[in-house]
Amino acid sequence: MRDIARLPVTFSLILACVLVYAGVMALAVASGIPWTVALVAQPPEILIGGSLVPELVAEGQVWRLLTSMFLHSGLTHLALNMISLYFLGYFAEATFGRGRFLAMYALSGLSGGLAYLYFGAFDEPAVGASGAIFGILGGVLGYAVRRGSFSWQNPVIRQLLILLAVNLFIGASIPNISNTAHIGGLVGGAAFGWLAAPTVYSQKKLRAATPIAILFALEAALLAVWYIYLA
């Protein structure tokens, strides 16, 4: 209970992902799929309703950049992402504060989605919170660079770099995992962490909101460019 009170955003995001997973499972069972099957692997024919498919985004379904962040392909996918979200959120939410942490998560997820639009398969779906979760990791690293604490000798930074290398290796080794979205989320999070570092201890709301506005404007511009030239 103490952790929930200390990390309300982290636990709210975890709860949202779990509830969405349960909702998809309920739809699967209602369509005749045994619950034991739906629990382990979410049906693609239901996931496609909210997954990120560049071809469908090109038709105007831009909301898929958001909905895909709360969908997961299976129980293992969900569990690994939620465990990672908890451990990274445990540090990052306390460091950045609730509002900035939520903004970093959302903007990193969008950044991962944009990377998939630009460099992913045009007609293949992608789901998962991992782009946003990589963004949390990137945010801490970007923050450390701006604050001058980025060093292999820093035990937190060292552990995060090792975690990053392991996860990128896993993403490159296992089929159906999009390192494109992972790297996109990582870059977006790092940019947010670097921009937000000078404002973390500021009590001025306008100054605190500036990094959020800058990154959101940049992502909106990238989405517009994709629609104009690539969609």
Catalytic residues: 130, 182
Is the CB of residue 87 less than 8 Å from the CB of residue 70?
no
Is the CB of residue 80 less than 8 Å from the CB of residue 167?
no
| Number of residues written out for the chain | 231
Is the CB of residue 131 less than 8 Å from the CB of residue 185?
yes
Burial readout 138-161 (b: 16 or more C-beta within 10 A, e: otherwise): bbbbbbbebeeeeeeeeeebeebe
Is the CB of residue 124 less than 8 Å from the CB of residue 181?
no
